[in-house]
Chains A and B, each alone.
Chain A
Amino acid sequence: MKFETVIGLEVHVELATDSKIFCSCSAKYGAEQNESVCPACCGMPGMLPIVNKHVVDLGMTAGMMLNCDINRTTTFDKKSYYYPDLPCSYQTTQWFAPICVNGKVRIETENGEKFIRIKQIHMEEDAGKLVHDDWTDTSLVDFNRTSVPLIEIVSQPDLSSAKEVLAYLERLRNLLRFARVSDCRWEQGSMRCDVNLSVRPEGSDKLGVRTEMKNMNSLSAIERAIEYEVARHIDAIANGTEELVQETRRWDDVKGKSYPMRNKETAGDYRYFPDPNIMPVVIDDEWFDKIKSTLPEFPEIKEKRFIEEYELDEKVASQIASSRAFCDVFEGAYERYPKAVEIANWLISDCSKILNRKKMTADMLSINGASLGELIKLVNEGVVNRAGAAKILDAMFDTDIDPKAYAEENGFIISNDTGKIEEVIKEVVANDMKSVNDYKSGKEKAIMALFGQAMKKLNKNCDPKTLRELLIKYVDSI
């Protein structure tokens, strides 16, 4: 008997905001335990939730990137369950009118393109974190992540293999990072995924028993978890090894197995009801259009355009289009100085080198595109040399500087002032008559010593050809 797998995903993505969804605590990753916490985040009575507008902006952006319909009136609801990482014993989420519905995402599969339907995207607050302490045999609660804004992207059960799941997740990650909705880092938990999976005999129109798997912390863990779970389901159906039950299971990546979860959200009966403290959010045309106008071009469209319009090589185009920051800098630079291939080279070699050295990812590139264009122009026009340009680029990573002004202030401008060069030549020659005499007596290489000394005195900021010509002319004249 052949089997087919039916998979739907619930993907949680933490939004790239400065503050939390309902209070003003910092939403940034990596603070010391319980340092980004206020009375509301630890369940104390009396504070009231006020929605962070940027969360709605990003929720809408995500929906637009995933071809969703935006609910013009969207509301918040409360979901109740007890768990120590949930300080109020309720989570504020969207149950009755989520911000986005009915989307679709295109993925590439072995059999060509496929569309995965999105059921809905809703905004909600994250829960805190538990750390287990072996010495005291207790669990320790950290509320830093409590109320950090999330969107949950719920797909229809349109996926049929681990490969498709990975393709879908990569696509989501790419689109959401491109639109700056989230940094989507698996290792920091800013992107997480629960897998709903069932197996049925091929051709059957009846769905099999569905299980939900949680706690996969990387793409490879998701792949392993799906493969394990599919095998377990098939074994149960074909060989009767166990009776499948609808349940939530926890993936143990070390053991390579899934186990039924015993508590937390498995109980069901969440008692959803509309949050009386949060008024409906109404998205009017002005707000909608404003968000629409800030949407980036889809990465694959950019890539195509880079190849066709700027005549970039395919590999280079794809490398730049893989990062929104690279695209923005590239396009900014092109606007200032339309030499696409050179800009691409500067990005891929010079900028990447600095990023590597600073241990930053491509998305963290934050230099001003126009300034990069200006810098390349200065090099091409012989105003600064490559060595000077490297130093200027380094400085551009720290602050937004004007390359020309910076070059002038720091003596990186190539001197074309022949008077000044001649002055330096005279000084060098006067101090090293021995080299002059050696040169005149036929030791051609001796003039290179004079050249080196003059270059050093000029801080390397002069055109070598000019210096060479003037030097020979002067030495010959004495």
Chain B
Amino acid sequence: MDKKTLIRLEKLNQLSLTESEEAAALDFFARRGNQAEALNGINTDDTERMVHVMPMTNVIREDKQSKVFTRDQLLEGAPESMDGYWQVPRLVD
């Protein structure tokens, strides 16, 4: 990974690293990348990907509506709120 990619990644994840953190990150990623090489030694062409370790299906619920918390409770920890809304700087689009 190069610095350009790292900066794109930072933007994508809403993070901003310092110069020294960026250097540490590039080293960290390089080591992880090298270690991940070992996985390529295993042929997995005929292996299905495993998303869930327990094979279950159809964990579904009936279409029933319920309300547990009030709006005020949900907004209690909001950094900023107004008239029952969460509040953020104005968006352009």
Query: Do A and B interact directly, with beta carbons closer than 8 Å?
Result: yes
Dominant secondary structure at the B interface: loop
Determine how close the nearest CB of chain A comes to the CB of B62; give it in whole angstroms: 6
Is residue B2 within 8 Å, beta carbon to beta carbon, of the partner chain? no
How far apart are the CA atoms of A279 and B12 in the complex, in Å?
A: 28
B64 touches which one: A18, A75, A142, A262 (CB < 8 A)?
A18
Judging by beta carbons under 8 Å apart, are B60 and A52 in contact?
Answer: yes
Judging by beta carbons under 8 Å apart, are B84 and A138 in contact?
Answer: no
The interface stretch among B19-27, B30-38, B69-77 is: B69-77
| B75, closest chain A residue (CB) | A34
How far apart are the CA atoms of A38 and B75 in the complex, in Å?
A: 11
Among residues 26 to 70 in chain B, which have CB atoms less than 8 Å away from a CB atom of chain A?
49, 51-52, 56-69
What are the residues of chain B within 8 A of A264 when measuring CB–CB? Answer: 93
Using known A-B contacts A24-B65, A25-B65, A27-B65, determine if residue A141 contacts B88 with beta carbons closer than 8 Å.
yes
Judging by beta carbons under 8 Å apart, are A32 and B84 in contact?
Answer: yes
How far apart are the CA atoms of A28 and B82 in the complex, in Å?
A: 23
The total number of A-B Cβ pairs within 8 Å is 126
Is residue B1 within 8 Å, beta carbon to beta carbon, of the partner chain? no
| A263, closest chain B residue (CB) | B93
What are the residues of chain A within 8 A of B67 when measuring CB–CB? Answer: 24-26, 36, 38
Judging by beta carbons under 8 Å apart, are B71 and A35 in contact?
Answer: yes
A33 touches which one: B14, B83, B89 (CB < 8 A)?
B83
Among residues 16 to 62 in chain A, which have CB atoms less than 8 Å away from a CB atom of chain B?
17-19, 24-27, 32-39, 42, 50-56
Judging by beta carbons under 8 Å apart, are A141 and B85 in contact?
Answer: yes
Is residue A246 within 8 Å, beta carbon to beta carbon, of the partner chain? no
A34 touches which one: B14, B51, B74 (CB < 8 A)?
B74
Would you give the 0/1 interface string for A69-87, flagging 1 where the beta carbon is closer than 8 Å to chain B? 0000101000000101000
A54 touches which one: B14, B63, B69, B74 (CB < 8 A)?
B63
| A129, closest chain B residue (CB) | B85
Question: Looking at A34, A50, A136, A143, which has the most chain B CB atoms within 10 Å of its CB?
Answer: A34
Is residue A267 within 8 Å, beta carbon to beta carbon, of the partner chain? yes
Determine how close the nearest CB of chain B comes to the CB of A107; give it in whole angstroms: 32
How far apart are the CA atoms of A17 and B71 in the complex, in Å?
A: 22
Is residue A338 within 8 Å, beta carbon to beta carbon, of the partner chain? no
| A214, closest chain B residue (CB) | B93
| A36, closest chain B residue (CB) | B67
A24 touches which one: B64, B75, B85 (CB < 8 A)?
B64
Judging by beta carbons under 8 Å apart, are B14 and A82 in contact?
Answer: yes
Selected A-B contacts with CB under 8 Å, 29 pairs:
A17-B63, A24-B66, A25-B67, A27-B65, A32-B71, A33-B83, A33-B84, A34-B71, A34-B75, A34-B84, A37-B69, A37-B74, A38-B69, A39-B69, A39-B74, A42-B74, A42-B86, A51-B60, A53-B62, A131-B85, A136-B82, A137-B90, A140-B86, A141-B86, A250-B93, A269-B12, A279-B57, A281-B57, A281-B58
Binding site for A on B (CB under 8 A): 12, 14, 49, 51-52, 56-69, 71, 74-75, 82-93
Given contacts A130-B91, A261-B93, 18 further A-B contacts (CB under 8 A): A18-B63, A19-B65, A24-B61, A26-B67, A33-B71, A35-B71, A39-B74, A50-B59, A50-B60, A84-B86, A84-B91, A133-B82, A138-B87, A141-B87, A250-B93, A262-B92, A263-B92, A281-B60
